[in-house]
Structure 1
Amino acid sequence: MRWKTDSYTGWGRVLSATGDIARPERVSALTSVMNDTPAPAIGMLRSYGDAALNDNGHVIDMTRMDRILGFDKATGVVEVEGGCQIGTLAKIFAQQGLLPAVMPGTGFATVAGCIANDVHGKNHHQVGTFGQHVESLTLLTPSGRKQIGPSRSKRLFEATVGGLGQTGVIVSAKLRMIPCKGDVIMVTERRADGFDDFIDLLDHSQATYTVGWIDATAKGDALGRGVLEEAETGSGLVPAPKRAKTVPFNAPGWVLAKPIVKAFNAAYYRRVPSAGRTSVKPINDFFFPLDAIHDWNKLYGKRGFYQFQCVVPTDQVDVLREMLGLIADSGLASPLAVLKRMGPGGAGHLSFPIEGYTLAVDFRNRPPARILIGRLEEMTAEAGGRIYFAKDSLASATRVKAMYPQLTDWQDEVAKVDPDGHLKTDLVRRLKLRDAS
């Protein structure tokens, strides 16, 4: 297997790495690489910060190992290689009445990436995280191959799911799919005039899938206003998919200037009638809306952007209100701001979700944004919440360790399978996750 030196970035494009990359196409080649030079795996690089970066080191690009290996129609269990993309599974199986149980906001995410970050979707309040639907997986550690699952090598499984790739390379996985009614989705949009209305809509929603867009520029009585989307799968004629567009160059700074973002958000809010509306869409349009704009991260300019995502417990909802007030007063927010309701927990030691509310907001890479994100992180910690590793670029090692009470359990398992630290990444080093407290 040949190594090629190259540079790569996370999706936010603020942080980058240069190092040697191997791109195996078969298990035999992957095994040879791990035997010779154990290294962490990367996929489609959809983590926003440095979770998949290993500057001045080696990484294994798993995107060529993307095959569907088997499917049991009777049980709805599909076996895939780690590099298989979630969007591919949704496209193939929706027509057969099945979907991946959990889908993140992009269909380009790989199955292994979804496991390594124990991703959540628009139905976390109903079905939990991705890892809770993994029946078993094949893990290639620096010391050899292991078959693990919730009932086999349970501790190692819990360290692997949400474990940021620190236990080994996820070669393949068996996933339990869930039934769907067809390959279209019926989406109901309702406006919330302010924060209290939004929280009330989230708390009382009975829909299978829910997600909220927040106008992060709104102030005063309109603080926290937005649009709640509730959705159910269905069958029928599929609307013609929109042709994907591409952002061909880095946008100039004025594109996301404060007056433009404010005007766009107001228009986006008012596009939904005050009485609400229901429409039928292709499944991908609801689950992966931004995938229709290739390279949309270039809209933030060549300096890139940060995303802050936190979750706070249900009894700390006023903290979210205060956060939105700070964000609105700063004038730094972009149009991309999301609020969702979460159910309890995840499948791994470092799984992000807790029962509560999760807020995600994008900011252009500017010094005031970094200061604001630091304050939001501090508020999250004080509220007993967490920040999401898949989105993080700036967090404090001390605060993060306090957010994850099972960190030492994770550290113990990681130390067993990778005692020499071959699998460390930039994020793991920055946050000192493998260092003793």
Structure 2
Amino acid sequence: MSLNVIDLIKGQLGPALVTQAASQLGESESGISKAIGGLLPAVVGGLANNSDNPGVLDAITNASSSGILGNLLGGSSNNSIISTLLSSIFGDKLGGLVNTIATFAGISNNSSSSLLNLVTGATIGTIGKYAADNNLDKSGISSLLSDQKGIISTLLPAGLSLASLNFGDWAKGYKFDNDNDTIKKTVQEEPKIEVTRSTTPTGTFPDRDTNKGGSSIWKWLLPLLLLLAAGYFLWKQCEKNKNTTTPASTTDSTTVSSDTAAVVSDTGATATTSKVDENIDLNGTALKGYRGGMEDQMITFLKSGDYKNAADDSALKDKWYDFDHVNFKIGSASELEAGSEGQLQNLVAILKAYPDAKIKIGGYTDKTGDEAKNIKLSGDRANFIKGWLDKQGVGSQVLGAEGYGSKFATVDAKATNEERAVDRKMSVRFAK
């Protein structure tokens, strides 16, 4: 089974980056997310369509050492490598792609162009890192890109297609887009019931002896046969419709169940997509955060006196606060996504304002992969944050860090990557 590189790249384009990009470009988070959802398969498709282009392979090979992933928002807009690469893979269709995505996502052309550079940087950076980590040479990278052709058209969001992006000439080699793979409409003919009409004056069948009473049988038998045939045809059509629609209903139900679980299990994730940063008061100091988000909840709890009055740690251990913006790069326990440090600095400010408060850090993963590795990864991430806080001078207030792997994950491992994202998080709780 070929690797879907889009799933890897999405790890670089998480909620924290979307929030930052929306703020920087003056667009809504939903518009940014929608644009990225359309640009990502287009960029991967462009690279796949040029999988044997030496310039493309050089750009990807060099991307892993260029540090492009560490500064996507700031370093991709004016990056000459990215500009040259985009011209190479899209040519005179580049402007049309920018315009189409802008219209599709409801954002400006300038924002669409900036996001195209950002997504391209994330794409070549991620593929380059994967190639370096797995010792792929240019031939291996070419094969990896070529493998993506079979899935690109199926990953475009509703409302976009290769044709709408003016990439119809990419068709050869793309799943469902081959000239030979065109799905032809099948016309199902209704069963034909031939009735021999009589030529005799009385309307009876020509070879029947009317004097023997045969006509009385056919007067009621023929309509009955016609009725049975019509009933059988209608029944087959109903069965066909039932078989066609039932799986779709089941799939929709499953999706709704997964979405519901995600909302119930992580109110912080819901707030992330529906709220914007506001000033959260910390004893006269304004912190940027979501109303009802991590900072707001922690400060409210401390001001209430509930922490001071808690008898011991057992009274605190069940209340966790999910980070809204702290995310690690895919597979890493030591590299934070852009925008993550802002919320960690807010946590430092809270701890310094309440020097008697103590906390514990928790790391969590989804249900995919080896559980032992998940526990190690989540634990390493929790300890990384603990070490980071220690460098900021509040280490004495961090009593512990622990990785729980998928122990508390709520979404099935077979769910989509987006649905499982609710289980991949970092959290903090008060401790004594």
Q: Same fold (TM over 0.5)?
A: no
Q: Of the two structures, which has the highest relative contact order with CA contacts closer than 8 Å and spacing of 6 or more?
A: 1
TM-score normalised by structure 1 residue count: 0.22
User: Quick check: which one's helix share is greater?
Assistant: 2
User: Quick check: which one's strand share is greater?
Assistant: 1
